Amino acid sequence: MKREERIIRRIRTVVDNGRMLVVEVLQGIGVSPSNSQIDDFLAWRIKDEWKRYQEERMANYVIEQNNLNGATIVFPNGKKGSEYYQEVSLNMSNYEDVWFEGLEETGLLDNISIETGLISLTGTPVEAKTYDFKLCAKVKGWEQGDPILERKFNIAFNPDPRDLFLPICHFRRRMRQMITSLCQNLKDCHRKTS
């Protein structure tokens, strides 16, 4: 027997049992519904329960998103070319999967342990700039189509001060060369006129 046929038979059994239960309960209070009334009642009841189930699931996602947003997670700025390491903890008891998106270009690697609740970022950034990335999580019991929790972060990697000083030195050297050249030209002009 194919899997689909077994599932269909199981659904029919549940519906038939539900129909018999509804008939028993209604007859117990003196009501004799028709088959179409029973079908309508079951469809209404199932739809209502499904709606309540979905609302409760979404309420749980909102709670978990608020918990993620409210968690004390800070990734301080760093310096280009210097080793960066930051470890934070997060209560991950309600998550089945946690990961980062957008770290690829930062030069940092992540290490996430759901068991211990520790998250660390480590590496040596090669470019001075601000990077945006996000922490993503799937709530326990997550199914395809369910929302994925997200929290956005950014880290600025500042340039090495010596990198900023180097262009100033080149500028000063060039200015000295130009002034020296100008003075030499003035001396040459003054000699020719005297």
Going by pLDDT thresholds of 50, 70 and 90, the confidence category of residue 3 is: low
Per-residue pLDDT reduced to its tens digit, 56-108: 888 888 888 888 888 888 888 888 888 889 888 888 788 888 888 888 888 88
Q: What is the pLDDT of residue 60?
A: 83
Q: What is the pLDDT of residue 168?
A: 60
CB atoms within 10 A of CB 98: 19
Q: Could you tell me if 102 and 130 are in contact, meaning their C-beta atoms sit under 8 angstroms apart?
A: no
Going by pLDDT thresholds of 50, 70 and 90, the confidence category of residue 164 is: low
Q: What is the pLDDT of residue 151?
A: 92
For 72-159, the fitting CATH number among 3.40.50.300, 3.40.50.970, 2.60.40.10, 3.40.30.10 is: 2.60.40.10
Residue of 134 and 162 predicted with greater confidence: 134
User: Average pLDDT of 48-54?
Assistant: 82
Reply yes or no on whether the pLDDT at 152 is more than 90.
yes
Q: What is the pLDDT of residue 134?
A: 92
Burial class (CB in 10 A: 0-12, 13-18, 19+), 21: exposed
The whole-angstrom separation of Cα 158 and Cα 84 is 12
Mean pLDDT of the chain: 80
